[in-house]
Amino acid sequence: MKLYSLSVLHKGATKSNLLKSAYDLSSFSFFQRSSVQEFMTFTSALIVERSAHGSRASVKEQEYLCHVYVRNDSLSAVVIADSEYPQRVAFTLLDKVLEEFSRQVESIDWPSGNPDTINYKALDIHLAKYQNPREADAMTKVQAELDETKIILHNTMESLLERGEKLDDLVQKSEHLGNQSKAFYKTVITRRMLVISLRSGSDILFPLPCR
């Protein structure tokens, strides 16, 4: 079980604003980490933008699950985990982080703040602590409340897109992604398509790109 990223954002009228984030990318190769981090930031922002106020949702993407909680006051949090990490514990973490963040950071700073200006230093601590899901055992009250809460499950990122939208286009337009990360995305998508072709028995005319 693994947590990869934990982010706090503000959901604006048309886009989300990243306020603070923490990452554990030790399981990825050194040369991939920069692009992986940018994509986790991009994914977290996109999920918040496409989620309704007062909602909790989990978005499945391959072996990952992205858990999001958007409060009615627009303060939001996203944790990206592997598929084995307990969903209830993930939402316990999101509740805890948002409650703590809202006490420490004035709401007037949410729409325009950024990771450099927001004074909240607990995300790295929480990300490390909750790598062990048992750390949430003491949060029985929050867990009991979550048991009564409807959590929406999206099977893929594409299910969040509007009619006619393409994830490829959003990637190319994203402010969170550099040129290297966009090229990395194209490589990953190409490899995924080739793997699908291979499994279906189609001919492969060139090798899969190395990870």
Spans of the chain below 70 pLDDT:
135-211
Nearest-angstrom CA–CA distance, 24 and 177: 18
Q: What is the pLDDT of residue 198?
A: 38
Q: What is the pLDDT of residue 33?
A: 83
Judged by DSSP in three states, 36 sits in helix
Q: Residues 190-206: pLDDT tens digits?
A: 444 333 333 434 333 32
Q: What is the pLDDT of residue 40?
A: 86
Q: What is the pLDDT of residue 186?
A: 57
Q: Residues 160-172: pLDDT tens digits?
A: 665 666 666 666 6
Q: What is the pLDDT of residue 191?
A: 45
Task: Write down how long the chain is.
Answer: 211
Q: What is the pLDDT of residue 211?
A: 38
Judged by DSSP in three states, 137 sits in coil
